[in-house]
Amino acid sequence: MHNINNNNQIPQNDTLVPGTSVSSGTNASVGAVMVVGGGIGGIQASLDLVEMGYRVYLVDSGPSIGGVMGQLDKTFPTNDCSMCILSPKLVEVGSSENIELFTLSDVVGVEGEEGDFTVELRVRPRFVDPEKCTGCGICTEQCRVKVKDPYDADLKRTPLIRVPFPQAVPGVAFIDPTRCLYLLKGKCGECKEVCLADAVDFEQKERTDTLRVGSIVMAPGYRPFDARIKAEYGYGVYDNVVTSLEFERILAANGPTGGHVLRRSDGGPVRKLAFIQCVGSRDTSVGNSYCSSVCCMYATKQSLIAREHQRDIEPSIFFIDMRSYGKGFEEYYRKASREQGVRYVRCLASYAKELRPSGNILIGYTDEDGNAVEEEFDLVVLSVGIEPDAAGLAGVLGVALGEHGFVATDEFLTVKTSRPGVYACGVVEGPKDIPDTVVQASASADMASAGLGAARGELIVHVEHPPEREVVGEEPRIGAVICRCGTNIGGVVDVPAVVEYARTLPNVVFADERLYACSQDTQEWIRDIVREHGLNRLMVASCTPRTHQPLFRDTMRSAGLNKYLFEMANIREHCSWVHMNLPDEATGKSKHLVKMAVGKAALLEPLQEGVSPVTPRALVIGGGGAGMTAALRLGDAGFTTYLVEKELELGGNMRHIFRTVEGGDVGAYLEELVGKVSSHGNIELFLDSTVDVVDGYVGKFHTTLSTPGGPVEVDHGVVVVATGGVEYEPKEGEYFFGRDERVITQAELERRIHQDPGSLAGVRDVVMIQCVGSRNDENPYCSKICCTVAVKNALALKRLNPDAGVHICYRDVRTYGFAEDRYLEARERGVGFIRFDEDEPPEVKHSFGDLLLKVADRNVRGEEVSLGCDLVVLSTGVAANPDAAELGPKLKVPLSADGFFLEAHVKLRPVDFATDGVFVAGLAHYPKTIGESLTQACAAAARAESVLCKENVVTEGVVAWVDEEVCSGCRQCVRLCSYEAIDFDEERGVAVVNSALCKGCGACTAACTSGANTLLGFKQDQIYAQIEAACNPL
């Protein structure tokens, strides 16, 4: 079993299988990839590449990796703490032997071609020796020269010498040379004086490094729009107008106000809070016609978080269209507006003006009834858009930019740039959120490694941990670390008191607190205390083990201890966050949880991980665009792939789509795809077939397919689920659908446009109705693509007949990203847009044989509009494939409430399932465009490849174990195990657990009346110790 957290570390006892690439890779290719930009995109790409067996040079122009995600407080739509989910990845990068980090570095030249590039890097001086610096921060206290802190969005001033932020990687100081007294005038040098590690080095010079890599991934992200340009909102003039990125820092517990939402002008409280949307986006007057895709959601998020911090805050969001189009977004928005006190005002505020003497900000808007309203706010947040910052890097790398200055990429595989061997992921390719960035990151890892198969593993260094120290027989010596988590825990729980208490507990020989237990420097520190105090167990009281246990376990290993000698107490999610107003009780409960964890820790034993061989073959279920792409990627990488399609024909929904919104020829692409798949030497195709029974586990699945020729059994190491989705079928009679042939769906319209334009010749007036079967109580989610599809088809109609009247009745136009350009084009070509309310949908009527549409246009105070029409087109959404309900349990993977497959982690593991070795792509995951589906398929292939490329999977040490001395031979457990992991040894009359099959559920242990069967890591005495500690008073 694996923990749900993404554990990307290459296990030391694992060997890589060299690839047998069939694609363009030459024998001379280099087994290393350069990743430029260390935001979440670059980080994920790096980690994936390492897992796939390539060395990575990760280059960031700043002093630390982390990017914008490192500055965010929480992330939508799960409200996960951004730093909490990011920092394990930061630490992983920092501690990976196979990622070489170049910070304060820029790429200045590239030569060569795909497979073998020579890259020239300019590495700026840090003026601190990273090998010596401990990140202690003493120097920072000495430096008197302060500058604006970019990490805090310039809201706070910070000394020139500093560690960029607590969780920074590398977690060492640097000197901002711009105003350093020593570097400019030869004076001061205080920092050098006080540094005990003698790490400050003023003599460092800029240097140039030359590196050979096989391919390059660009992930340099973006810059936020400069809000000063929209001068009507007074940013930069009025203190109480801030940007969203600044507000993100204001919300952050480690930010300039410690997470308190305060006015900038006077530090006073904020009650009325306003957000103005689309600042610098969807705005041709500033040259940014595209939609920034994330700001509607982050404004909602920031509203919710602000209210979480202070209940009496009343947030208002001034917007044009609410673009909550992604997975879980619409539900998030609904909840925010209906239950969580966020007010949405559909009007773009015209100005923000400061009032005197209050410093309040006045916003003018028009309400739904047409009244001109002026309202005062304490603080106004401008939802600034995303702007590309790619020109320089793109120039050096020689890749083309698109119309808006983002990197131009292939329409179907959105990470492929104009230059072979160079790939792009994240916002540099177009505005997107974190999960979409992560998908592209994995996809670019897939593409970047494609040509390098032959060099796989060549440059990989195996992690050499110090040998595990033998602790059996030793008295437990427990170290207790209590985390403040900034103010997340420290703001509620009396941390020093908990530390004091921990010191009094039996076996605890050391206890102390840390500001961030997960930071890189703390890992260093833990290794130190383990050594200094001769610790043989560790207990960390911090956040949830579900995300952070792997990090600390790795630290245990690097400290020379078995990683299972570690226990966590969750005093954040289960304590400080849920008892925010009860500091005394929360402190008491923390002590209790610490006592329980310490009680268990004392009894922990070292466990051994098992290894199980990998069958280097893949099963892909679903032969639509996503499934075929995944199969091709895996086949190209040299892995035999079984592709199972239940229909007689490959292609899925792509068969019914003719053009992409950008005009790409879907049919031609599909034909090419089908051709390649059908003739691929590594792909075995099963048409008209389905999956019957799935047995086994990661690395070693055994599946029975039902095929026209009877059952076929296949062995494989991974599964990719690409079973797609279906068009929502309008209900009989919904808008006369099925009763009047002039009422059709968008798919049918598209077919007629391309296959039967004659049938549209007499059509003069067309009305489209959006959100049919989406965004209602029955199907609360937004189908994401139908707004763009409607715009696409409306434009096609206008092209066929410029005089045709085309009206689209919508609730919000959700043409996110560059599709906004097509929305603008549609308007300019005279397509009418009429906005209706959910409670007052359009009505289709018959009048003497004519079709009549009546709708209350909310844009003009709900006045009724009457349109005669020849054709009514229903924009029916995408519904989940009903097969999923059956397939999910077979694969032991969950579905969301909407019936789509539910990934392991909505933000950071968008193609993985919690069940190892099973991955998802395409419509099976959520509605998305073709480009997004195919890109996700590449990402799934990359993740699958990281399993297949290894000889073995490492199984967890948490498995059942039968004490043969005690076993009475009752066979209770044998019958009970759902995984058939227990055999009965008839000879000796005892039960024997097969640890490769055992999933570590512990069901058998509860059934064993003789107490012979125990789950390692959750042994009975350990649980009893916890129970006892829980029940006894402190």
Partner 1 sequence: MSRKPENNNGKDEVKILAFLCNWCSYAGADLAGVSRLQYPPNVVDIRVMCSGTISPYHVLKAFQMGIDGVLIAGCHIGDCHYIKGNYMTYKRFQVIRDVLEFIGIGEDRLRLEWVSAAEGEKFAEVIREFTGQVEQAGASPLRTRWEENPANRERIRKAFKPLLP
Partner 2 sequence: MINAVNSKLDAELEGRTGQKVRACYQCKKCSAGCPVAFAMDLLPHEVMKMISYGQRERLLASSTIWLCASCETCTTRCPNEIDIAGVMDGLRHIAIESGVEPSEREVGMMHRSFLGGIKLLGRTNEPFLIGGYKAMTGNLFDDMGLGAVMFFKRKIKILPRTVKNRRAVRRVFKRTRKMEV
Partner 3 sequence: MTDLTFSYFPGCSQSGSAEEFGLSTEAVCRALGIELAELPDWNCCGASSAHMTDDLLSIALPGRNLAIAREEGKDMLTVCAMCYSRMKIAQARILGDEAVAREVEEVVGADPRFRGEVRHLLDVLVNDVAFPEIRKWLRLPLAGLRAVPYYGCLLVRPPEVCCCDSVENPTDLDRLLALLGVDVRPWSFKTDCCGGSLSLSRTDIVEKMVNKLLTRAEEAGANCVVTACPMCAANLEMRQKPGKLTFKVLHKLPVLYFTELLGLAMGLSGVEEWMKSHIIDPMPLMRETKLLSH
Ligand X SMILES: Cc1cc2nc3c(=O)[nH]c(=O)nc-3n(C[C@H](O)[C@H](O)[C@H](O)COP(=O)(O)OP(=O)(O)OC[C@H]3O[C@@H](n4cnc5c(N)ncnc54)[C@H](O)[C@@H]3O)c2cc1C
Least distance to partner 2 from the beta carbon of 832, Å? 6
866 forms part of the interface with partner 2 (CB under 8 A): yes
How far apart are alpha carbons 652 and 657 in whole angstroms? 10
Burial (CB count within 10 angstroms: exposed 0-12, middle 13-18, buried 19+), residue 226: middle
Sign of CA dihedral 852, 857, 860, 863: positive
Residues 6+ apart with CB under 8 A from 144: 159, 188, 190
Within 10 Å of residue 336's Cβ, how many Cβ atoms?
25
* Residue 875 in the binding site for ligand X (CB under 6 A): no
Minimum CB distance to ligand X, residue 816 (Å): 13
Q: Which is nearer to partner 2, 32 or 361 (CB)?
A: 361
Q: Using CB under 8 A, which of 1, 211, 347, 355 touches partner 3? A: 355
| 578-597 footprint of ligand X as x/- string (CB under 6 A) | --------------------
4-43 positions binding ligand SF4, by CB under 6 A:
none
Where does residue 905 rank: exposed (0-12), middle (13-18), buried (19+ CB within 10 A)?
Answer: buried
In this structure, are strands 832-835 and 805-810 parallel, antiparallel, or unpaired?
A: parallel
Identify whether 357 is preceded by a cis peptide bond (ω within 30 of 0): yes
657 binds, among ligand SF4, ligand X, partner 3, none (CB under 5 to 8 A by kind): ligand X
Nearer to partner 2, 142 or 366 (CB): 366
3 or 140: CB nearest partner 1: 3
Q: Is 864 in the site for partner 2 (CB under 8 A)?
A: yes
| Nearer of residues 697 and 823 to partner 2, judged by Cβ | 823
Q: Report if residue 80 touches ligand X, rule: CB under 6 A.
A: no
Q: Does 1008 bind ligand SF4 (CB under 6 A)?
A: yes
220 is an interface residue for ligand X by CB under 6 A: yes
Burial label for 627, CB within 10 Å (0-12, 13-18, 19+), is buried
Stretch near ligand X under the rule CB under 6 A, chosen from 524-532, 570-578, 612-620, 638-646:
638-646
- What are the distances in angstroms from CA 870 to CA 466, 683, 731, 831? 77, 48, 21, 16
Tell me which residue of 70, 450, 28, 521 sits closest to 252, measured CA to CA: 70
CA-nearest of 412, 500, 330, 270 to 932 is 412
Q: Which is nearer to partner 2, 22 or 347 (CB)?
A: 347
Per CB under 8 A, contacts with partner 2 among 316-335 are: 320
Nearest to 722 by CA among 810, 789, 630, 637: 630
Rule CB under 6 A: is residue 427 a binding residue for ligand SF4? Answer: no
Using rule CB under 6 A, residue 199 touches ligand SF4: yes
- Indicate which single residue of 362, 463, 509, 852 sits in contact with partner 3 (rule: CB under 8 A): 362
Binding partner of residue 544 among ligand X, partner 2, partner 1, none, CB cut-off 5 to 8 Å per kind: partner 1
| 861 touches partner 2 (CB under 8 A) | yes
Q: How far is the CB of 986 from ligand SF4 (least distance, A)?
A: 12
| Separation CA 956–CA 1016 (nearest Å) | 10
155, 361, 498, 982: residue in contact with ligand SF4 (rule CB under 6 A):
982
45 near 444, Cβ under 8 Å?
A: yes
Under 8 Å between Cβ of 334 and 304 = no
323: contact with ligand SF4 by CB under 6 A: yes
How many other C-beta atoms are found inside a 10 Å radius of the C-beta of residue 148? 11
The piece of 4-12, 167-175, 571-579, 941-949 that touches ligand SF4 (CB under 6 A) is: 167-175
Q: How many binding residues for ligand SF4 (CB under 6 A)?
A: 86
When CB distances are held under 5 to 8 angstroms depending on the partner's kind, the choice from partner 3, ligand X, partner 2, none that residue 669 binds is none
Burial 301-314 (b: 16+ CB within 10 A, else e): bbbbbbbebeeebb
The pairing of strands 215-218 and 422-424 is: parallel
Residue 224 in contact with ligand X, rule: CB under 6 A: yes
Q: Which of 21, 46, 437, 1005 binds ligand X (CB under 6 A)?
A: 437
- 3-class secondary structure per residue, 446-504: HHHHHCCHHHCCCCCCCCCCCCCCCCCCCCCCEEEEEECCCCCCCCCCCHHHHHHHHHC
The structure tokens 């941990």 sit at 465
Based on DSSP, count helices (H) and strands (E) in the chain, helices before strands. 24, 52
Residue 903, interface with ligand X (CB under 6 A)?
no
Minimum CB–partner distance for residue 452 and ligand SF4 (Å)? 37
- Residue among 90, 26, 18 nearest 58 (CA): 90
Map tokens 């993985």 to a residue.
Answer: 912
Residues 884 to 943 in contact with ligand SF4, rule: CB under 6 A: none
Residue 78's binding partner out of ligand X, ligand SF4, partner 1, none, with CB under 5 to 8 Å set by partner kind = partner 1
The DSSP code for 573 is: I
Q: Specify the residue, 587 or 876, whose C-beta has the smaller distance to partner 1.
A: 587
- Give the one residue of 2, 74, 301, 346 binding partner 2; rule: CB under 8 A: 346
Among 167, 292, 488, 590, binds ligand SF4 (CB under 6 A): 292
Which range binds ligand X by CB under 6 A, 40-48, 483-491, 573-581, 940-948?
40-48
Note whether 433 binds ligand X by CB under 6 A.
yes
232 binds partner 3 (CB under 8 A): yes
Say which entry of ligand X, partner 1, partner 3, none residue 234 contacts (CB below 5 to 8 A, set by partner kind).
partner 3
Q: Would you give the binding string for ligand X spanning residues 671-700, x where CB under 6 A is met?
A: -------------------xx---------
Q: How far is CA 600 from CA 2, 539, 560, 960, 1006, in A?
A: 21, 9, 21, 18, 18
Q: Is 138 in the site for ligand SF4 (CB under 6 A)?
A: yes
Q: Does 833 bind partner 2 (CB under 8 A)?
A: yes
The interface mask with partner 2, positions 784-823, x = CB under 8 A, is -------------------x-x-x-----x---------x
Which of helix, strand or coil describes residue 102?
Answer: strand
Of the residues 51, 114, 321, 513, which one makes contact with ligand SF4 according to CB under 6 A = 321
Q: Does 356 bind partner 3 (CB under 8 A)?
A: yes
940 binds, among partner 1, ligand SF4, partner 3, none (CB under 5 to 8 A by kind): none
Among partner 1, ligand SF4, partner 2, none, partner that 197 touches (CB below 5 to 8 angstroms by kind):
ligand SF4
Question: Segment near partner 2 (CB under 8 A), from 104-112, 187-195, 593-601, 857-865?
Answer: 857-865
Among 84, 460, 644, 944, binds ligand X (CB under 6 A): 644
* Residue nearer to ligand SF4 on the CB measure, 269 or 969: 969
State the Cα–Cα distance between residues 993 and 961, nearest whole angstrom: 6
Q: Which residue in the block uniquely carries the two structure tokens 């050096």?
A: 396
Both tokens assigned to 442: 């994995």
Looking only at residues 703 through 742 of this chain, which bind ligand X when binding is defined by CB under 6 A?
A: 722-725, 727
Cα 119 to Cα 208, 215, 541, distances in angstroms:
10, 10, 44
| Residues 452, 216 contacting (CB under 8 angstroms) | no
Among candidates 107, 132, 126, which has minimal Cα distance to 64?
Answer: 126
Nearer to partner 3, 288 or 542 (CB): 288
Measured distance CA(770)–CA(789) in Å, rounded = 10
967 binds ligand X (CB under 6 A): no
* Torsion angles phi and psi, residue 789, rounded to 5: -65, -40
Q: Which residues of the shown chain bind partner 2 in the complex (CB under 8 A)?
A: 232, 278, 282-285, 320, 346-351, 364-366, 370-372, 765, 803, 805, 807, 813, 823-824, 827-830, 832-833, 835, 857, 859-861, 863-867
Q: Which residues of the shown chain bind partner 3 in the complex (CB under 8 A)?
A: 231-232, 234, 237-238, 351, 353-357, 362
